Amino acid sequence: MGNADFSKPYDPKNTESKIYKMWLDSGYFNPDNLPAQAGLPGKRKKNYVVYMPLPNVTGTLHMGHALDNTGSDILTRYHRMKGLRVLWLPGTDHAGIATQYKVEKELKKEGVSRFDLGREKFVERVWKWKEEYGGIIIEQLKKLGASADWSRSRFTLDEAYAKDVLSAFVHYFEQGLIYRGFRTVNWCPRCGTSLSELELDHKEEKGSLWYIQYPLADTQYNIQNTQYIVVATTRPETMLGDTGVAVNPKDKRYTALVGKKVKLPLTGREIPIVADVKIDLNFGTGALKVTPAHDVLDFEIGQRHNLETLSVINERGKMNERAGEYAGMKTDGARTLIVQKLKDLGFLEKEEPYLHNVSTCERCGHTIEPIPSTQWFLKMETLAKSALKAVKSGKVKIQPKNFQKVYFDWLANIHDWTISRQLWWGHQLPVWFCKNEKDKFTVSIKKPTACFFCKSCPMEQAPDVLDTWFSSALWPFAGLSESDRKKYYPGNFVSNAREILNLWDARMIFSGLEFMGKVPFKDVFVHGTILTKDGKRMSKSLGTGIDPLNYINQYGADATRFAVVWQANGQDIRWDEAAVTAGRKFCNKIWNAARFVIENAPQAGAEKPRSLARKAETVADTRILRKLGKTKKQTERYIEEFEFAKALQNLYDFFWHDFCDVYLEMSKKQLADKKTKESTKVVLFAALEASLKMLHPFMPFVTEEIYQNFRDNGGKFLMTEEW
C-alpha cells in the first residue's frame, strides 16, 4: 500500500508532479528500458513508434497542442501496456521565420537590428534566446503527462540532424531535382523572405474591383474614338508592370482580339493579347491583365507566352524606380493615386465593392507581395507521385478518410517547392559561389579548399537558409540516431491538424521513401480544430485563445485531458469549459470508488484475475464481469481506430454507471453476507484494477496514484502493467 490519504478529495496538485517524477526516474519512457510483462512471454519484440509533431522553440502550449499530444499519449500508453516496445519520439523545431522574428522584436526594443549585429553575432543571439526560452513547451508537455522518451529528444539544428538536412540537399541536387531559378514567389516584406503557398494565411477583406479600359493599339490613342478591352482587377497599382492581357481561348467574345496589342493606360506601352486556358471566364470581364512579376499565376502565364517579367514593387513592399512618379510609395498609397488618375483620364469604366482573399504571412500577419526573385526550388513531380502512390496503395492511411481528397488534390496540382529563405537562422545552403565569377557555384557540405572556377578566390557560402519544412520533412529518420534507425524506422503513427497534412505529412512521406526506401509511418490521424464556444478560431493575439496550463493548474492534467478528448467527437470542437469540470468530477468518482475497494480489499494473492469467472457467486457479479469484458473489447477497438472520444465515453459509462452506481452499491449487501463476502472482494478488486488499466492512457495521474496505493505491487507501475 502507498500513503495516499483517501479520506480527502483527490488533489492533483499533491499528485501529478510526484507521479511524473516517478515515471521519469523509472526510465520506462525509454523503450529500451521497458520491463517484460508477467502475462506476456519474453521481451518486448514488436515496435510501436509515434512521432511528435515538432513544436516550435518559440511556442507555448495551446489547446491544439493539448489535443494533439493527448491523443499521441493515449496511443503510447495503450501500446506500452499491450506489451509493445513503444517509442514516442520528441523534439523541437528551430522554426526559422518565427524564431528570427521573435529575436528581432527583442533587438528592436534595444534600438538595434540584426544588420547592426551582423550574421554571426545575430545567430549567437538567437542561440542564447533558444537556450533560455526554447524548452518551455517541452516542460509544459510534461505537465500534460506526455510520456515521450525525452532522452531521445532532438532539435532540428543539432549537429547530427543538420548533417542529414544538408546531405538531403546535396542528394536532391545531384539527382537534378534542385535548381536555382528566377521566378515570382510569395514574399513577406516584414520578414524579408520568400514563402511557400502553404505558409500563407488567407483572410477575407472588403475591397474593390476596378474595371479599366485598355485601348487597342492599332487605332488612334484617343479614349473618345478608340476601341478597347476592359479588364477587372483588385490591384490597379500593379498595372505599371503589366506585360500582357490574357483571355480564355474558349471565350468567343475575344477570339478576334487574340494576337493584337493594347496600349497600357497611363504609360502608352504596347502589350499583347494572348489566349490561355487558365483564365476564368466568369471573373470580371473574362479578360485578365497579366503582371508576371507580381502574381504567381501571371508568372506562369508569362512563361507560357514569353511575356516580359517587369517588376514595379520592391522587397520592402514599396513601388520601385520603374513605377515612375509613384516610386517610393507604399502600394496602397500608389493605388489611390493611380485609380484617381485613371478616372481623370477616362480609363476607369466602373468600380464595384468586392470581397476577396488577401494572402498574409502566417508568422507576422503582414500582407504578402508576390515579387520576382532568384530562389532555389525542389522539383516536385516525381516526389509527389511517390507520396500519392503511398496513400493510394494503402501503405499509409490518412484518417478520417475524407482528408485523403485534400491530400490527393494538393499533390495532383503541386508546384515546385521554393525551399530557400532569406533568413539568418536555419540551415544555411551548402552552396558555394565563386567571388569573381558570381553566377558559378558548387554544392558541397564542406567549404571547398580552393575555388573550382577562378582557382584563386575563397568561395562564399550562399546566404540563404532552407525552408524549415525542408528539415522537418526528414524528422522520422533524421530525428533518430544511426543505430535507432535500424531499430525504430519505419514508425507507426503521426497526428496533427488539417493544415499540416500537406505542409508536413506529405513531405515526410516522400522524404522517407526517397532516403530510407520505406514510408515513415502507417497512419496519419488528422484531428479537429478547437474553436471558441461561439465557433471562432482561437487566437492569443485576439484574446480568444485559452491556455491549457490554466486548466492544468486549477483542475489537474487528467481533468484537462478528459475535457479535450471528451469533446473531440468530430472535426471541429466548440470548446466548453464544463467538460473540464466534468473531468474533475470523474477523477473524484474514481478516487472515491478506489477508497471503498481498498477498505474491502481481499488478502494479497487471494485470487488471480484469470479465475474471476469461477468467483462469480451472484447475478450482480456475473453481470459486472460480463460488462467489464465487453467494455475492454469496445475500448480496444475504439483506440485502435483512433476514436478516442468514443473510447473515453465508453469507459465513463461503464465505470460511473455499471461499476459505481450498480455493482458497487450491490456489493455493500454482498459484503455483509458471509457467503459472498470474499468473492465480492475479489470481483470488486479485479473490476477496479481492470478499470484503472483501461482508464490509464486517458487519465494517467489519478490512475497511477491509486495503483501505487492499491496494494503492495513490488515497485511496479501501472503504465507498464499488462492491458
Average pLDDT, the chain: 91
Query: What pLDDT does residue 512 have?
Result: 98
With contact defined as beta carbons under 8 Å apart, do 131 and 138 qualify?
no
For the cut 70, the answer to whether the pLDDT of residue 499 exceeds it is yes
Q: Smallest Cα–Cα separation from 715: which of 27, 85, 79?
A: 27
On whether the CB atoms of residues 208 and 217 are closer than 8 A, the answer is no
Q: What confidence score (pLDDT) does residue 711 get?
A: 63
* Backbone torsion region of residue 59, taken as left when φ is above 0, otherwise alpha when ψ lies between -120 and 50, otherwise beta: beta
The label of the residue with cell 493544415 reads 499
Instruction: Look at residue 499 and give its three-state secondary structure.
Output: coil
Q: Which CATH number fits domain 34-177+379-425+466-527: 1.10.1270.20, 3.40.50.300, 3.40.50.620, 2.60.200.20?
A: 3.40.50.620
Q: How far is Cα 379 from Cα 376, in angstroms, rounded to an integer? A: 10
pLDDT of 542 reads: 63
What is d(CA 303, CA 317) in angstroms, rounded to the nearest whole number?
24
Of 54-68, 109-123, 230-244, 683-697, the least confident: 54-68
Q: Give the C-alpha separation, 461 to 420, whole Å.
A: 13
Task: State yes or no: pLDDT of 41 exceeds 80.
Answer: no
Check: CB of residue 73 under 8 Å from CB of residue 146.
Answer: yes
CA 5 to chain centre: 42
**Residue ranges of the chain that CATH labels 1.10.730.10:** 575-720
pLDDT on residue 197: 76
Give the torsion sign (CA, 312, 315, 321, 327): positive
Range(s) within the chain of domains with CATH label 3.90.740.10: 194-369
Q: Which residue has the higher pLDDT, 609 or 236?
A: 236
Q: Which fold has domain 575-720?
A: Isoleucyl-tRNA Synthetase; Domain 1 (1.10.730)
CA gap 3, 396 in Å, rounded? 47
**Beta-carbon contacts of residue 90 (< 8 Å; ≥ 6 apart):** 52, 138, 141, 146, 148, 149, 150, 152, 153, 154
Residue type, 554: Q
Q: What is the pLDDT of residues 406-445, one digit of tens each?
A: 999 999 989 899 999 999 999 999 999 999 998 899 999 9
Provide the pLDDT confidence category of residue 2 given band limits of 50, 70 and 90: low
What is the full DSSP assignment across 506-563? Answer: HHHHHHHHHHHSS-S-SEEEEE-EEE-TTSPBP-TTTT----HHHHHHHH-HHHHHHH
The pTM of the full predicted model, rounded to 2 decimals, is: 0.87
CA dist., res. 297 & res. 284, Å (int): 16
Q: Would you give the DSSP letter of residue 448?
A: P
Domain ranges in the chain with CATH number 3.40.50.620: 34-177+379-425+466-527
Distances (CA, A) of 503 to 3, 410, 426, 469: 49, 10, 18, 7
Q: Check pLDDT > 70 for residue 311.
A: yes
pLDDT at residue 541 in the model: 59
CB 269 within 8 A of CB 263: yes
Pairwise CA distance, residues 549 & 474, whole Å: 31
Q: Report the share of the chain in percent with pLDDT over 90.
A: 72
Name the residue with higher pLDDT: 389 or 542.
Answer: 389
How many other CB atoms are found less than 10 A from the CB of residue 535? 9
Each residue's pLDDT tens digit, 531-575: 878 777 776 656 667 888 899 999 999 999 999 999 988 778 888
Side chain identity, residue 359? S
271, 444, 461, 704 from 440: Cα distances, Å: 34, 14, 12, 63
For 690, the grid coordinates are 481492470
What does the pLDDT average to over 80-91?
96
The CATH class for the domain spanning 194-369 reads alpha beta
363: pLDDT strictly greater than 80: no
Supply the pLDDT for residue 202.
82
Output the nine-digit C-alpha cell for 559: 481533468
Label residue 384 by pLDDT band (50, 70, 90): very high
H or E element, residue 586: helix 578-599
Instruction: Give the closest residue to 242 by CA, choosing from 183, 314, 299, 318.
Output: 299
